[in-house]
Amino acid sequence: MVVLDRPKTHPEINKFRRDSLVAAALRVVAAEGIENTTVAKICEAAGVSRGLANHYFQSKEELLLIAFQKLLDDLGDVTRQAAQEHGSPTRKLFAIIHAIFRSEFFNSTARAAYLCFWTASLSNPQFARVNRANYAQYHSSVARLFEKSAKQRSVDINGRTAAIGLIGMIDGLWVDLSIGVDDFTPDDAIAACRDYVVHKLLISKDDADLSRIGGPASDRIVKAKIR
């Protein structure tokens, strides 16, 4: 667990306290679910008073909404950083897949909290709005990578539907791994998603882009901000 530097200025102190409450909210949601999460439990997990939570957040709902957005932002940071480490659009797609299943974001707290918020989005309009906005950007980015890679390879595909297929695979495998319903590993999930990309883009087995996503750059664990 990373020990944060003790804040010194007033703005730093405020940010530190807010961030601590958001991180605690995610831990409580992951452990107990959204319905059983209370401000009192979040404050206890953060080691602060109820009054401090009320000072920074108007309600439990506001705090949880910010926590959900933080969770999505962290996942976005992980995938963007992974993609930026590679030049070709095909390698970027492989790097995103690798990061989703292999970075420190794929930990028990993040997985459990994400599933709770994901489920709650079915009935909570605010969570649904945040989730839709995140997925719209996610789908658009992956679709563009498919289109760029297909153009380089002179392959005729629909980038939008290719992205829908890949993200659907990732989500399904992510859920299965999170709840432990199937006997496979993150590496198996990565291989399955890579196979999908290979099939859609008609990549030959001797293509340079098929070399393993690894080495000093992409094997480096991206530090997620959730603890």
What does the DSSP 8-state code read for residue 5? P
Under a CB-based contact definition with an 8 Å cutoff, are residues 115 and 175 in contact? yes
Every domain of the chain and the residues it spans: 69-218
Q: Do 166 and 193 touch, CB atoms closer than 8 A?
A: yes
Pick the CATH number of 69-218 from 2.10.109.10, 1.10.357.10, 2.60.40.420, 1.10.3720.10: 1.10.357.10
Q: State the average pLDDT for the chain.
A: 87
Q: pLDDT band at 213, cuts 50/70/90?
A: low
Is a pLDDT exceeding 70 seen at residue 212?
no
Cα separation, 153 vs 61, whole angstroms: 48
Cα–Cα distances (Å) from 155 to 94, 159, 198, in that order, read: 18, 11, 12
Q: How far apart are CA 179 and CA 153, in angstroms?
A: 38
Whether the CB-CB separation of 190 and 102 falls below 8 Å is answered with: yes
Distance, in Å, from the CA atom of 199 to the CA atom of 166, rounded to the nearest integer, reads: 11
Span 26-79, pLDDT tens digits:
999 999 999 999 999 999 999 998 888 888 999 999 999 999 999 999 999 999
d(CA 24, CA 42): 6
Q: Which of 19, 26, 24 is nearest to 71 (CA)?
A: 26
Residue whose C-alpha is closest to residue 75's, from 13, 117, 125: 117
Gap between the Cα atoms of 93 and 54, Å rounded: 42
**107 pLDDT tier (thresholds 50, 70, 90):** confident
What are the tens digits of pLDDT across the range 182-198?
788 999 999 999 999 99
